[in-house]
Structure 1
């Protein structure tokens, strides 16, 4: 079973480490208790949307990027293909054709 809190914690830790920040730095900047943030990163606590937003801001990372990474990781775990970030060209072309025909 996939635990969302575990994936969120892993992603937050990965983003923090990529930025070269310590847990203490991020907790302080996000105004979150160090122990609590540690538990979130280890998947032991569920973070509220407010906490996630504060941590994302402290990491100078859009929350959408964090959640996209979480979704992509869960898709891999579930054995699903990851949804592309862009709309396939044939769909865009069909939409443009339909729009031209409507005018």
Structure 2
């Protein structure tokens, strides 16, 4: 069953995915930031979900990590999917009975 609670914001899911990939690779924040051409502080804020980077920034970071955008998006979709709320039950269609 999916987890209950609020769905994560895009920037939070993106940041967790990027951090997870970087840590799996054993990469240091400072090295990835340098390869991406951004400051370590900015990359840290992205990873913590505090900044919502442009598509150009996302491309720079994924390039520095050596991953493709489809791989990143698949990971984010998986995380967001775990937080989905179940849909409310739909009422069956049929005639409405009204009291007189």
1:7-63 alpha-carbon deviations (Å, 9 max, x no partner): 000000000001110000000000011111100000000011101101001000111
Q: Which runs of 5+ in 2 are unaligned?
A: 1-5, 87-100
Residues matched between the structures, number: 80
Q: Name the TM-score, length of structure 2 as normaliser.
A: 0.76
Q: Does 1:61 align with 2:67?
A: yes
CA distance in 2, matches of 1:27, 1:63: 17
- CA RMSD in angstroms, aligned pairs only: 1.2
Q: Does 1:52 align with 2:58?
A: yes
Aligned-partner SS, 2:42:
helix
* Greater than 4 Å deviation, 4+ residue runs: none
Q: CA deviation at 1:79?
A: 4.8
Structure with the higher fraction of residues in helix conformation: 1
**Where in structure 2 are the equivalents of 1:1-103 lying within 5 Å?**
1=6, 2-79=8-85
State the structure with more CA Rg: 2
Higher relative contact order (CA 8 A, sep 6+): 2
Aligned-partner SS, 2:51:
coil
Aligned-partner SS, 1:67:
helix
